[in-house]
Structure 1
Amino acid sequence: MRRRNLSVVLGTVAAHNPLSRPLSRADVAARVGLTRAAVSSLVDELIGRGALTETDTAPDGRVGRPGRALSVSDRGPAGLGLEIGVMHLGACVVDLRGEPRVWRRAERSNAGRPVGQVLAEVAALAADAEAEARDLGLRVEGRVLAVPGVVPNEPAGQVDRAPNLGWHTVRVADHWPDPDTAPEPENEANLGALAEYWNAEQAAETFVHVSADAGIGAALVIDGQVFRGARGFAGELGHIPVHPDGLRCVCGARGCLEQYAGQAAVLREAGLAQHDPGPAAPAEAGDPVALLAERAGAGHPPTLAALDRAGRALGLALTSAVDLIDPDGLVLGGTYAELAAWLLPSVRAELTDRVTVRPWAPEALRSSALGRRGPVLGAAQTTIRRIMADPTLLSVG
């Protein structure tokens, strides 16, 4: 019961608009329905755990002592998010308010490299991010790693396969300098979807989040929770067949969505195949998505045609998702968000043409404002959400 009450009090303070009247202990007691004495004890514990701060407020002209204002601490507890992409490594530290305080990104070609080498570089990036966080008065309470692969429910800490990296059955702690501080791996599409839900101004409760990098991933959020499937393998939208007798995919099947709407496919159709990073691309290779956006913005016909084709294939795959799941919305994230100006019209056209057995509004499809930062931000905020649900995870003092 105390754990729950700690969470309720912390959540009440976190939900308060800091620009409005300061929130006192008495205000919290009135909002949560507990006695002032009970709330005062809970607040003292949260202050001791570094989750809340309490400061004097300015006199407001009334007789009596100045009030005391509660706020979520911008120092102390923090979450560290890490990311391994095919062409980059990333790190992000967020404070207990969920605000990003540290961003790090390093361009790396990770496909086909030894697992130990990649994870050693991620660990070094994590150490740099944590050092910068400490200088800001933050202490990392948890670490989560976004990976472009399948992370099963069991065993914990394992990446079952990440085909675009060349990984199979990788236990992250086995390759981490200190296994006790090894991050918890999670699928990058799931984390991107959670970041969208936690940060969007008007996020739907049930939606499909589709993102792309070298591959295509999707995540289904149902009532604010990611649906992982029976074994954690849900979300493989990139391998839904959109042309059953079509091109052979790296997974062995034919006609998968990735062969028509993946990065390599779009570059090929745009006549820019030489800019596909591929597994042997150097770290300083240019950004193919930025190149596609530049060419499309300039009206380059092959690029516009390639993006239209990709959008229609994506719309075809999403039609199946809409008919099966009946979501409130569809969100394009990752690199798709950066190409949304050219993808959205053809995706909408395909959905409008094919979704006929249930109501479907074109505005239910939109792009994410987070873009490629979604997965690493979601990774960092995962720790914060856990703390908000259970403040006893924080040490005292």
Structure 2
Amino acid sequence: MRARNLAVVLATIHRSGPHTRAALAERTGLTKTTVSSLVADLLEAGAVTESGAVRGGERGRPGVAVSLSGHRVAALGLEVNIDYLAACVVDLTRTVRLRRTVPADNRSSDPALILAGLRDLVKQTTAEAEAEGLRVIGGALAVPGTVEDGVLRSAPHLGWRDVRVADLIDLPFAVDNEANLAALGELWFGSGEADFLYVSGEIGIGAGLVVGGTVFRGTFGLAGELGHVVVVPDGPGCRCGGRGCLEVYAGQDALLGELASVPELVDRLESGDREALETCERAGHALGVALTSAVHLLDPGRIVLGGIFAPLFPWLEGPVGGALGARLAQMRGTPPAVVVSRTGADAAVLGAAGLVIQQVIAEPAGMLGL
């Protein structure tokens, strides 16, 4: 009962705080004595703080406001991607306190070597956080592949199969698909919209469907493999064994060609390079065709383009919208809005950290040792 009440109080503060203890008692239906005891425990754990004076004290007198604290409790977000390792530390108010990115070539790599490098990044990042007075209480890792019960079942671009990464560090730890966590990153740190389809453009192309503030994962956690929607039935072969998949036309390799990086491609586009413009036109059209199928099946009200699609959005927006509009005009009139991600390249690592923050809010007794 006490654990449940702690969660009720902390969730109320998180959702609509700050509140006085009297206001918390009124909103939660708990007694003032109970609320005072619970707030004291949360103060001791560093989850909340008391400051200032707001209306709502006894007999209308100003009371002390209880709000989430960003000074002691923090979460660690991690990401293994094809060409980098990333980490960020986020406090309980969802303020990003640290960001670290290490360039790396992780294609067809040895999991043991990459995870050793990630362990070093974890040690460095948590040490920096502790130096700022933060206690990292848990972490989550975003990976570019399918995950089941903490095991990375398949990450073709990494060359990994059945790799247990859930035991990476001595923290409460979760592992999830990069696109799913990127969608949650957009939800918690971006637009705040509760319903949208997030499309993650990387070497592969994934998607996360957010419905009512929750990611839809499918029966086996494989929902969102947008990169393998067929856009040209007799097109080039894809690594999945099919032909004409979206990834062949709009994945990072297809967009960059011989170029070394996305910034280099952006420079070419800004200078009006014809080949670069045609590449983005072709990729945007293919993406629009694939998204048409997603709209027919899922009916999202908004589509958010993230990953490498974010910096390329000015050149993709037109062809994506054109392909969607041409195919949806007769059936539904106005197509869903297509917008750029507000979290950019940080979406997945932010979503990973945010996942831990949500767990603290939902289960403060267990996560904070209360």
Residues 49 and 394, structure 1, Cα contact 8 Å, conserved in 2: no
Alignment CA distance shift 1:158-1:172 (3 Å): same
Residues 50 and 396, structure 1, Cα contact 8 Å, conserved in 2: no
- Could you say which residue in structure 1 is the equivalent of 2:97? 101
- Could you say which residue in structure 1 is the equivalent of 2:305? 332
Residues 179 and 208, structure 2, Cα contact 8 Å, conserved in 1: yes
Q: Indicate whether 1:230 and 2:230 are aligned.
A: no
Alignment CA distance shift 1:385-1:120 (3 Å): same
Distance 1:36 1:363 in 2: 47
**Matching residue within 184, 204, 209 for 1:215:** 204
**Matching residue within 67, 75, 81 for 2:77:** 81
**Matching residue within 353, 356, 360 for 1:387:** 360
**Matching residue within 179, 187, 192 for 2:182:** 192
**Matching residue within 231, 239, 247 for 1:250:** 239
In the alignment of these two chains, the number of paired residues is 367
SS in 1 for 2:147: coil
Shift of 1:225: 1.2
**Matching residue within 297, 300, 314 for 1:341:** 314
Shift of 1:362: 5.0
Residues 329 and 335, structure 2, Cα contact 8 Å, conserved in 1: no
Unaligned runs of at least 5 residues, structure 1 = 276-285
Shift of 1:396: 4.5
Alignment CA distance shift 1:360-1:210 (3 Å): farther
Give TM-score scaled by structure 2 length.
0.93
Unaligned runs of at least 5 residues, structure 2 = none
Residues 56 and 66, structure 1, Cα contact 8 Å, conserved in 2: no
- Could you say which residue in structure 1 is the equivalent of 2:345? 372
Task: Report which stretch shifted further, 189-198 or 29-38.
Answer: 29-38
Q: CA RMSD in A?
A: 2.3
Distance 1:5 1:358 in 2: 49
Cα deviations by residue, 1:253-277 (Å, 9 ceiling, x for unpaired) = 1101011111111223xxxx2x2xx
Residues 172 and 182, structure 1, Cα contact 8 Å, conserved in 2: no
Identity score, percent: 46
- Could you say which residue in structure 1 is the equivalent of 2:110? 114
- Could you say which residue in structure 1 is the equivalent of 2:3? 3
- Could you say which residue in structure 2 is the equivalent of 1:318? 291
Shift of 1:181: 3.7
Shift of 1:142: 1.1
Structure 1 counterpart of 2:273, one-letter code: H
Distance 2:356 2:71 in 1: 15
Distance 2:99 2:164 in 1: 26
- Could you say which residue in structure 1 is the equivalent of 2:281? 308
Task: Report which stretch shifted further, 66-75 or 297-306.
Answer: 66-75
Shift of 1:35: 2.8
Shift of 1:328: 1.5
Cα deviations by residue, 1:97-137 (Å, 9 ceiling, x for unpaired) = 11111111011111122110000001100111100110111
